[in-house]
Amino acid sequence: MKILVTGARGFVGKNLIAELKNRNYGDIFEYGRETDPSLLDEYCKEADFVFHLAGVNRPKDQSEFMDGNYGFTSTLLDTLKKHQNTCPVMISSSTQSILDNPYGISKKAGEDLIFGYSKITGAKVLVYRLPNVFGKWCKPNYNSAVATFCHNVAHELPINVHDSSVVMNLVYIDDVVEELIRALKGKENKIEEFCEVPVVYKVTLGEVVDLLYSFKKSREERSIPDMSNLFTKKLYSTYLSYLPEDKFSYELKMNLDQRGSFTEFIKTPDRGQVSVNISKPGITKGNHWHHTKNEKFLVVSGTGVIRFRKIGTEEIIEYFVTGDKMEVVDIPTGYTHNIENLGDTDMVTIMWANEYFDPKRPDTYFLEV
SS3 218: helix
The answer, yes or no, to whether residue 325 has pLDDT greater than 80, is: yes
Q: Provide the 10 A C-beta neighbour count for residue 220.
A: 8
Strands 89-94 and 295-301: unpaired
Residues in the chain: 369
How far, in Å, CA of 68 to CA of 57, rounded?
Answer: 9
pLDDT tens digits, residue range 101-124?
A: 766 777 788 888 999 999 999 999
* pLDDT tens-digit readout, 129-185: 999 999 999 999 988 999 999 999 999 999 999 999 999 999 999 999 999 999 999
Angle, alpha carbons 80-82-87 (nearest 5°):
30
Rounded CA separation 363/195 (Å): 55
Q: Where are the domains of the chain?
A: 1-130, 133-171+202-250, 254-366
Domain 1-130 has CATH 3.40.50.720: yes
CATH class of the structural domain 133-171+202-250? alpha beta
Say if residues 339 and 286 touch (Cβ distance below 8 Å): yes
C-alpha distances in Å from residue 312, one per residue of 218, 308, 335: 41, 12, 9
pLDDT at 6 over 60: yes
Stretch 295-301: mean pLDDT, rounded?
A: 98
Note whether 94 and 75 are within 8 A (CB).
no
Residue 1, pLDDT score: 93
CA angle 202, 57, 51 (to 5 degrees): 80
Burial class of residue 71, CB neighbours in 10 A (0-12, 13-18, 19+):
middle
236 is catalytic: no
Residue 20: closest CA among 157, 140, 182, 166: 182
Express as a percent the part of the chain with pLDDT over 90.
Answer: 85
Q: Which amino acid is at 190?
A: K
pLDDT at 37 over 60: yes
Domain 1-130 and domain 254-366, same fold? Reply is no
Q: What pLDDT does residue 119 have?
A: 96
pTM of the model: 0.90
pLDDT of residue 280: 98
Query: Lowest-pLDDT range, 189-193, 278-282, 364-368?
Result: 189-193
Catalytic residue among 31, 103, 128, 239: 103
Tell me the pLDDT band of 234, cut-offs 50, 70 and 90: very high
Between helix 230-240 and helix 205-221 the angle, nearest 10°, is 70
CA–CA distance, 16 with 5 (Å, rounded to integer)? 9
> Is the pLDDT score of 343 beyond 60?
yes
- Taking all residues of the chain, what is their mean pLDDT, rounded to a whole number? 93
Look up the CATH superfamily of 254-366: Jelly Rolls (2.60.120.10)
